[in-house]
Amino acid sequence: MNKTVSAKDLRRWAIKIRDTTDELDPLRALAEDMDKQASKLEEPKRRRLSGQEQSDLFVTELLSRYSQLRSIRYTFVGNYRDLRHSTLESEHAWSSIPVRDVVTQHSPEYARRLAELSRLLHNFLAAAMSLKDHTNIVIDRVFTEVLYAPYERQVINTFAEKPVAHFVQELRNYSLHRRLLLPGTTTKAGATTLFLSKQKLLKGKKWDGASKKFLEAYEDDVPIRQFTDDYYAIVQSFHQWLDGYFYDKYARHIEAQRELDIEKIRQYIPISMQESHIRQISILFSDILVDDNWTFHDF
């Protein structure tokens, strides 16, 4: 058995560390070092390749890395949709009954719904941070220093100055390391709203400045649907920009891959099928699908 540490080993361990630790965890520095060592191990292999082989390898790795975001985005969007649907459904159901009634609050259905909402909120927060971390990993590997600067500026403009983005990140850490979040309900003028207790959150941990500012902006409690919708809109806007930026910089590679997909797909479809249908199929099966509605949709 070969006991030599390979570049693949280092990449795998680095990803595992990032998936299981917070940003401030000292192990994150170790993950960065593992990536650097992996790059050094991979460099001699690249130097032995011809110019065309290096170009082909770059394109393949580039598109493969970026396509990894598809599954992570799908997870985030799916968790958001599940949470939003369940929240709307519960608020609608409870708007027609006296939720504050003691009998209602102790009913098995009421308890089941709250437990399910707690689970869905936990999943949403976890997926939000997974998308953030995986996006950074992919971009670090496919963008050169020149291309990285605009990306970094966009991250700062989109997330750093938005209190809700800070709040969601810290809320994820709170939910993961301190306690599972249990929603509450309030009914005013016949309309029920699901919320997180502002008082409990402020007592539960020391929030950073932006998150505390976000919490203190609410007079009473924090409506779940409002802050999750706001955060989703920010992420949606950012990734639509990222797709456009990526496509603009690598359009030639993307189109070349699409043409290759079309040629491959022609081998498995009827000759009578129209060219427009062939191209449509190639897009559906392509690993590099990039269009205006790639993953994120308005509701």
Task: Convert the pLDDT of each residue in 126-160 to its tens digit.
Answer: 999 999 998 988 888 777 766 788 888 899 888 98
Q: Note the pLDDT of residue 92.
A: 85
Q: pTM higher than 0.85, yes or no? A: no
Give the list of residues 6+ apart from residue 286 with CB closer than 8 angstroms, or none. 257, 258, 261
CB 285 within 8 A of CB 263: no
pLDDT in tens, 187-223: 887 788 899 999 888 887 778 888 988 998 988 899 9
Closest CA to 84 of 114, 128, 121, 125: 121
Q: How far is 104 from 114, CA to CA, in rounded Å? A: 12
pLDDT in tens, 2-57: 456 777 778 777 777 777 777 777 778 888 888 888 888 876 655 554 555 555 55
What CA dihedral angle connects 117, 205, 131 and 14, to 10 degrees? -130
Report the alpha-carbon angle 128-131-137, nearest 5.
Answer: 145
Measured N-to-C along each axis, helices 224-265 and 163-177 cross at an angle, to the nearest 10 degrees, of 90
What CA dihedral angle connects 106, 112, 116 and 121, to 10 degrees? 0
From residue 7, give the alpha-carbon distance in Å to each of 2, 14, 140.
13, 11, 16
Side-chain-side CA neighbours of residue 81 (13 Å): 12
Closest CA to 73 of 296, 233, 244, 232: 296
Closest CA to 12 of 35, 33, 45: 35
